[in-house]
Structure 1
Amino acid sequence: MTETESKDLISGIGALLQIQRWLGIWRWSDGNWRQLKSIYPFVLHLPLTFTYIALMWLEVIVSDDLEQAANVLYMSLTELALVVKLINIWYRGEQALNFMNALDSYAKCNLPKSEDIQFWQREQRNFKRIFYTYIGGCTAVAVTGYSGVLFQDTYELPFGFYVPFEWRRRERYFYAYGYNILAMTLCYLSNCLLDTMGCYFMYQIAVLYKLLGRRLVALRDMPENVAVPELRCIFQLHRHIRSLTKQCEVLVSPYVLAQVVLSALIICFSGYRLVQIGFQGNPGPLITIAQFVAVMILQIFLPCYCGNEVTLEANRLTNSVFNTNWLMYSVSTRKVLNCYMEFLKRPVKLRAGGFFEIGLPIFMKTINNAYSFFALLINLSK
């Protein structure tokens, strides 16, 4: 494998990791300025992310009615999930780094054929398309929110939070507006990139199982004396991938759990806010909330889809074994394959906090819960 091919194997995440380092959500490599790098995330996020989220919740607490609280609650719940994600990646930063190194090592050492390399690179490009679509949607929400309030007759903040001074006057409005933009930009970028990282972990595990299936199917054209050594290699790789799957579950479990638990409420209050705004007056807030609801649905769909792909690709290995030329093998080799198929009966499922499996069923349940909460909220408001 050439050096260029080696770099292309992780091209779907290389630039993303560098951006995350500057945003304080990924570990810097050891080197100069070690102490500064260790405190950099806190120096960046304490005055912006955590203070901003605290002010959001303070606005919810001091609100006089449900309508005023709902204007802020949908976003404060979203940022509460961000707090869980930040704490998780800071606490498990070393594990996440080791996991990425293991993926990189696997890609460089276990793709012997050019078609496997091309397949891996194609999957990296597919993931980049997913990432660009998601980050583009999040950016559209932020830009629409930032610009929409500037065309209103009254002074309004893009995303509400408690401001400890009178800001509804021109000379002070832009102080609150500027802080709003800085804090929200850091929050939405951190949120999007952490979501993308969790999805990348699960996506690559699914790709590894898919590659394992390709290698099993390739045994169909091999004589037994060539297939048996390849089988030993496949068994070792499968054991390694199962180990990576457990590591992946540890890394993504807290963030998916927080996202799923809070997403129903977030979508519910976003829909309520959408009903409040209606189609009258300035369309800017209406477009912002509508985009936000769409992005929130995508945000919960992506990890559920990636987790579901892990389960599907792992289950397909049984069919891959059956499609080998096993009828022409000796009795001893067939017994080995039979034992392997018995091993494959143990399902591979990623779980969020030990409460539920990460997959498309939990996505549908979350959407149903969001609609139920929304209907209840509408009835209460009447």
Structure 2
Amino acid sequence: MGDRMVTRGHFFDFNIKYLFYVGLWPSNEAKRIEKIAYKIYEYQLHVLSLIFLVTTGIGTYKNHKDIIALLTNLDKTLVAYNFVFKVIVFVYKREELRKLIEQIVQSGDQITEDRKALMAKLVIVLTGISTVIITAFSCLALFEGEMTIDAWMPFDPMKSKMNLFAASQILAATFVVPCGYRAFAMLGIVCSLILYLRDQLVDLQNKIRDLRFATGNVEKLRDDFKLIVKKHVRLLGYSKVIEMIFKEYFFIQNMAVTAELCLNAMMVSVVGLEQKTLAASFLAFLSVALLNAYIYCYLGNELIVQSEGIAMAAYESSWILWPVDMQKDLLIVITAAQKPMKLSAGGMAVLSVQTYSQTLYNGYSIFAVLNDIVN
């Protein structure tokens, strides 16, 4: 029953389906043979992603004496390592996430149709942009008679155009769905959870401001306020569970963006803008990485702002007319709201716009130090 509720007709529906199609969300209601088939499909995608890491790792090592080829390969494989490690964390925490989504769906909280559409559009647009970028550079590499990324193959890719095309297809098969699409499926469900919390906090603020005291409606005021407090406590619990589930996920994301920025700065300084194709590929992959990081940090910042807004909404309500006992309860709400909900990267950094700026600064600082050492 629980699995039916979290896979049909709710505001996580699109994200759950996306996760299912990329082998990250097995159904608890499926028949035994279907579960076995899905498990085989899931493990197959795991194996394909590992094949990509191993083959590109060997290809990178073979070019360790060519600094440009080495940096180019590292730039592209770093994206895959980021995605694969996040998949490992996601699979490990998947059942905890399933239980959380069941609780949210059963809570009866409402969300607008526009927000549901936004959740789907976000994932579709990012998936489309990444697919276009990967396809464009793969076609360009084929046109120039080069590998998209240096990787070990059981045959010589440069022997003929057919071999080169086959090698490109193998790389695509081991990266696009096993790494890329899985990453965007995870991004979709994470962003949907944060947007859900953000919208429910805004709804709470509006309900608190709308509380009105009158001589004949004291009991109704108490009941409405009690529901608001219960919902706030529930949202606080959801926030802590989300932080616990995704703290390692966000830590990997934060570290990957810092390394990506540092690596790209090094590559641009070494390669130079005269090699336009390489420079364009560096900037394209960097742009996607920075966009992903900004989405997480922006939503994390919104969560902080809107959770702190509960305190302001409580203060702006007509509390001065309320009974004394309710005023004391409202003070407790204000005190609790002053400690905002947050998402952390491994408990080391809070996801916010400020953290995003700090990540960019850290990446450039590391590059500057390495550049000074090299020079």
Q: TM-score range by the shorter chain?
A: 0.7 to 0.9
Residues 45-86 of structure 1 deviation map (CA, whole Å, 9 limit, x = unaligned) = 20x211101222223333224333211111222211212211
Match of 1:15 in 2: 14
Q: 2:151 & 2:269 partners in 1: Cα distance?
A: 21
Aligned-pair CA distance for 1:314: 0.6
User: Match for 1:217: what amino acid?
Assistant: R
Aligned-pair CA distance for 1:284: 4.7
Match of 1:265 in 2: 259
Q: 1:329 & 1:232 partners in 2: Cα distance?
A: 14
Aligned-pair CA distance for 1:268: 2.2
**Which among 204, 209, 212 is matched to residue 201 of structure 2?**
209
The correspondence of residues 216-365 of structure 1 with structure 2, limited to 5 A, is 216-220=208-212, 223-280=217-274, 284-365=277-358
Q: 1:133 & 1:31 partners in 2: Cα distance?
A: 30
Q: 1:64 & 1:314 partners in 2: Cα distance?
A: 52
Residues 195-237 of structure 1 deviation map (CA, whole Å, 9 limit, x = unaligned) = 2322222222222222211221221477533221011111111
User: Match for 1:231: what amino acid?
Assistant: F
Aligned-pair CA distance for 1:156: 1.0
Q: 1:362 & 1:203 partners in 2: Cα distance?
A: 19
Aligned-pair CA distance for 1:378: 4.5
What is the TM-score when the length of structure 2 is the normalising length? 0.88
Match of 2:69 in 1: 68
Match of 2:4 in 1: none
Match of 2:128 in 1: 136
Match of 1:191 in 2: 183
Percent sequence identity is 17
Q: Is the 8 A contact 1:145 1:285 kept in 2?
A: no
Q: Is the 8 A contact 1:205 1:245 kept in 2?
A: yes
Residues 230-280 of structure 1 deviation map (CA, whole Å, 9 limit, x = unaligned) = 111111111111111111112221111011112111122234334555454
Q: Is the 8 A contact 2:142 2:164 kept in 1?
A: no
Aligned-pair CA distance for 1:188: 1.4
Determine helix, strand or coil for the equivalent of 1:245. Answer: helix
Q: 2:358 & 2:277 partners in 1: Cα distance?
A: 31
Distance 1:211 1:8, change over 3 A: farther
Match of 1:38 in 2: 39
Determine helix, strand or coil for the equivalent of 1:357. Answer: coil
Q: Which runs of 5+ in 2 are unaligned?
A: 1-6
* RMSD between aligned residues: 2.4
Match of 2:153 in 1: 163
Runs of 4+ in structure 1 displaced over 6 angstroms? none
Q: Is the 8 A contact 2:247 2:345 kept in 1?
A: yes
Q: Is the 8 A contact 1:307 1:358 kept in 2?
A: yes
Aligned-pair CA distance for 1:379: 4.7
Determine helix, strand or coil for the equivalent of 2:211. Answer: helix
Q: Is the 8 A contact 1:127 1:200 kept in 2?
A: yes
Q: 1:326 & 1:242 partners in 2: Cα distance?
A: 23
What is the TM-score when the length of structure 1 is the normalising length? 0.86
Match of 1:97 in 2: 98
Residues 321-345 of structure 1 deviation map (CA, whole Å, 9 limit, x = unaligned) = 1121111112222122122222323
Residues 310-365 of structure 1 deviation map (CA, whole Å, 9 limit, x = unaligned) = 11111000011112111111222212212222232333222222222121222111
